[in-house]
Structure 1
Amino acid sequence: MGIYLSTPKTDKFSEDGENKRIRYGLSSMQGWRATMEDAHAVIPNLDDFTSFFGVYDGHGGKVVAKFCAKYLHTQVLKNEAASPGDLGAAVRKAFLRMDEMMRGQRGWRELAVVGDKMHKFTGMIEGLIWSPRGGDSKGHEDDWAFEEGPHSDFSGPTSGSTACVAIMRKNQLLVANAGDSRCVISRKGHAYNLSRDHKPVLEIERERILKAGGFIHAGRVNGTLNLARAIGDMEFKQNKFLAAEKQIVTANPDITVVDLCEDDDFFVLACDGVW
């Protein structure tokens, strides 16, 4: 999807860091795409015991990937605070919550702000005009209150993004994945997959797609999308009689939890492409 450049843009953005538990490094490159559609989130101190890492591979635009990089980890914390002790459930809710948050006036405005310059300006202006007014704005971001405005009926973005996150808490690693970005761990020098690509041809994906009223053509959902799970892509999530997990395309992640040990060297999160 998208427009390609005549020559790839090979400038890299890289950084590294560490805390008492972990050392990390990251790098990103635009490549052949006309715009950079990928995003990442690195929060080494999500709380006193937890580190969060996320890779988001956008398609059809960059806004959903950037939205996830900005908000998904905050929703993990919020959900876990509401139901402590079940990190997996908190992460699953956070993935599905992204689609809910990107709807309506507030969703349109937030996507506009992380989008191109023209829409960013429009989104900021609409934020001044339509944001709910209140005496105490503390916690407003988490409340995600309904906003009246010209985009109140916005059903969400037609572009989308994969999401593959790794959350390290004490001696456990939780990996949640929707799409075809990947997490791999090196254990005693051998690579082990901690995620699975969600392609439409997989039987479990194909069954859900067909039951929801979709079809698969040339390996693509409804002949266009080569992913069976993603955040965004709201045109595939319009059946009001089905739960979010059962739509043609779903943001519902697969979750894998492993106990870390002395044999583990490192883990890698990355978008699809060369490995």
Structure 2
Amino acid sequence: MKLCIGSCSLQGTSRKRNEDRYTISVSEEATDVGEPFAYAGVFDGHGGDATASWLVDKLADFVEKHWESGGEQPELDIREAFVKADRRLLAPKGGFFGGMGERGVGGSKCGATAAVALLFPGPRGATQLLAANVGDARVLLCRKGEALQLTVDHVPDSELERKRIERTNPNPKMPLVRYVGGTWRVGGILALSRAFGDAYLKGSLQYEGVRAGDNYSSGFGVIAEPDTSLTALTPEDSLVLIASDGLFANKERGGGGGLSNQEAVELAGRVGDPEDAARQLARAAQDAGSTDDVTVVVLRLE
């Protein structure tokens, strides 16, 4: 399979700086069955760009390290990679005074969402697309002109996410998910239910949090375990989009306007050059009222 790739990242109109980051890696040589030949990720930072930048530099190493099954159980492998990467992000700094400062790369209030796509040859010849996400960045597949969302938006608005978080709440009289500032937020603070980093919402003995043995999964229930999907690509698949939430219409959660999934794949499909398509998508989202940072990676399948 031949890939043509384009990308664009624009600072949001309401942002002081662009905290989105992205990465693309493609092998120039044929790969064996189960061995990824393309990796692309979009990371939407908040509270600074340090966590997003760390994910650009380090997450692929964790994916490679935990890609143990030769593509036989890729969803389990990438879940392990994401969780282990977040634990490393949250690990106390070394040295005598290491445990005295804030945990987390970029500080305890720095975090990032992630949407990742990997392509690898399947055992029966078909190329497999593995999508994984933490937070509300998305991976879309265009099949027969229709947009298929391969990821799950992890937001406190989701009833499934709210129930997951409240199951571990030691104080049911004070819900962990609260409606603040026009949107649902974990701890009344974060408008995401899953993210990398954000140590202050994962730390032990803070607010309603309870101590966890690994100092990782306590706090308000924010986690970095991804939702995943595995899709066998067909000749009817024309492109893959990986994008931060700034691309998409999100008025109810403070992001302003943007595009629907279908509008995004239709616009990308009309533009031959993927680099130009990524630029036009980002501009179109801003023209539609998006005020957030917008980052788009376009993988055209040929």
Q: TM-score, normalised on structure 1?
A: 0.72
Structure having the larger proportion of residues in strand? 1
Task: Name the CA distance, whole Å, in 1 between partners of 2:27 and 2:64.
Answer: 12
Name whichever of 40-49 and 252-261 sits farther off: 40-49
Distance 1:96 1:46, change over 3 A: farther
Distance 1:242 1:46, change over 3 A: farther
Identity within the alignment, %? 32
Task: Name the CA distance, whole Å, in 2 between partners of 1:74 and 1:46.
Answer: 19
Match of 1:223 among 181, 185, 188: 188
Task: Name the CA distance, whole Å, in 1 between partners of 2:90 and 2:244.
Answer: 26
- For 2:154, the equivalent position in structure 1 comes to 198
Name whichever of 54-63 and 89-98 sits farther off: 89-98
Task: Name the CA distance, whole Å, in 2 between partners of 1:232 and 1:267.
Answer: 27
- Matching residue's letter, 1:68: L
Matches for 1:1-275 after TM superposition, within 5 Å:
21-32=2-13, 33-45=15-27, 48=31, 49-50=35-36, 51-81=38-68, 83-84=69-70, 85-104=72-91, 106=93, 147-153=94-100, 154-156=102-104, 157-170=108-121, 171-213=127-169, 215-218=176-179, 219-238=184-203, 239-241=210-212, 248-273=221-246, 274-275=258-259
**Structure 2: 5+ residue stretches without partners:** 122-126, 170-174, 204-209, 247-257, 260-302
**Structure 1: 5+ residue stretches without partners:** 1-19, 107-146
- Matching residue's letter, 2:130: L
Query: What is the RMSD of the two structures over their aligned residues, measured on CA atoms?
Result: 2.2
Task: Name the CA distance, whole Å, in 2 between partners of 1:164 and 1:242.
Answer: 28
Q: Which has the higher contact order (CA 8 A, sep 6+)?
A: 2
Q: TM-score, normalised on structure 2?
A: 0.66
Give, in angstroms, the shift of residue 46 of structure 1: 9.7
**Runs in 1 of length 4+ with deviation above 4 angstroms?**
242-247
Task: Name the CA distance, whole Å, in 1 between partners of 2:212 and 2:51.
Answer: 25
Task: Name the CA distance, whole Å, in 1 between partners of 2:200 and 2:80.
Answer: 21
Deviations 1:42-85 (A, max 9, x none): 0112983421000000111101111111111111101124x544
3-state secondary structure, aligned to 1:31: coil
